[in-house]
Amino acid sequence: MTKQRIAILGSTGSIGTQTLDVISQHTDKFEASVLTAGSNADLLIEQARRYEPDTVIIANEEKYDYLQAALAGLPIKVYAGAEAIAQVVISSEVDTVVTAMVGFAGLQATVNAVKAKKRIALANKETLVVAGDLITRLAMEYQAEIIPVDSEHSAIFQCLVGEGQNELEKIILTASGGAFRDKTAAELEKITSKEALKHPTWNMGAKITIDSATLMNKGLEVIEAKWLFDLHVDQIDVMVHPQSIVHSMVQFNDGSVKAQMGLPDMRLPIQYALSFPHRISSNFERMTLEAMMNLTFKAPSKDLFPCLDLAYEALRQGGNTACVMNAANEVAVAKFLEDKIRFNDIPKFIEKTMGKVAWIAQPSLEDYFACDKESRMLASELMK
């Protein structure tokens, strides 16, 4: 296995820090070549001093002088701004790009990485949610390899390895159910942002944790799965599985079902994406048979968590609808975290925004950027 030079877009976030942990365990196979962050300059400085990458970039340009001064004397190039992040992925010093930035911000960098024929370890689900048709067409044109990092999509990917042209009937994405899977409608009316940030299983960033609580995260994964695995909307099911042991399943045309299982540890799918097609050793905790003795599954409540249905509807409508939905969701989640709207208001404002933005059947990249901007402005106005 050739040593891979890794660019981590979003190295200070949950996926980014765990990617660095994987790299630390396999310094003979991986090295951190590029590290980028949004605004967490202190952690980025700490990471840069430890891993000594070729390049570090901070998106918040106001932090540039602070970052540059802290790394003075080290053989590290320092840049700032979103454009620098979008351009660094084409560097000859990069073999694999881990797209761990949260939200729409990862789209341009992913497009550039695809065109540069880099291997992409995709952890930014919004890229395919917003522009799945465009990204998959570009990936085919430039023969760029996209390996999913989300535990659910990694599970599907692993189940399909070796199956060749064998026809699948459907996939079953599992969901932890989030922090409120057992709540009633009355209880959801009173949920605070502090309560919503307490995920029962996974350690994730604030935005993804709220998306998990509303089940929008699973809705985004439904859309992402459509593009990753070339599926029809009716071939994608969701089941709530609180134990998070079965990460997802594939049902084939002969009725057989394959599942990928493991303890809830994101380092495993990250490592698999970096090392594919090889499996390499790890010191991760091992799953025991006892952990499998009380596995439960149930259908999600569409009445309590309408965000999942909104995602299915966006997928059915196609065009720029998912872009509108994603933008409205990002605004709504931010407002909820600021305690400016209620938990149950999130899907209401998303649905209102989806109904007010003009539909575009086959958006260009420029259309997606314009649609994202328009949708954010409209959603913000609706939430005032």
pLDDT digits (tens, 9 = 90+) for 135-180: 999 999 999 999 999 999 999 999 999 999 999 999 999 998 877 8
The domain boundary residue, chosen from 285, 317, 349:
317
> In the numeric block, which tokens belong to residue 119?
């291997």
Residue 227 has pLDDT above 80, yes or no: yes
Residue 118 and residue 237 in one domain = no
Residue 59 and residue 191 in one domain = no
Domain membership flag for residue 325 = no
- pLDDT computed for residue 384 by the predictor: 86
Domain membership flag for residue 330 = no
Residue 131 and residue 198 in one domain = no
> In the numeric block, which tokens belong to residue 110?
């992913």
**Residue entry with tokens 């994608």:** 236
Q: What is the number of domains present in the chain? A: 2
pLDDT classification of 202: cutoffs 50, 70, 90: low
Domain membership flag for residue 71 = yes
Residue 173 and residue 302 in one domain = yes
Helix ranges (DSSP H) in the chain: 14-25, 41-51, 64-70, 82-88, 107-115, 125-142, 151-160, 185-188, 193-196, 206-214, 216-229, 267-275, 307-317, 321-337, 345-354, 365-382
- The Cα 92–Cα 241 span in angstroms is 42
Residue 16 and residue 94 in one domain = yes
Residue 272: give the domain boundaries: 154-317
Report yes or no: 173 and 150 within 8 Å, Cβ to Cβ: no
Residue 200 has pLDDT above 70, yes or no: no
Residue 99 and residue 234 in one domain = no
Mean pLDDT of 248-260: 97
- pLDDT computed for residue 36 by the predictor: 97
> The domain spanning residue 100 has which CATH number?
3.40.50.720
Does this model's pTM top 0.85? My answer is: yes
Mean pLDDT of 335-355: 96
Element (DSSP H or E) covering residue 371: helix 365-382
Residue 184 and residue 292 in one domain = yes
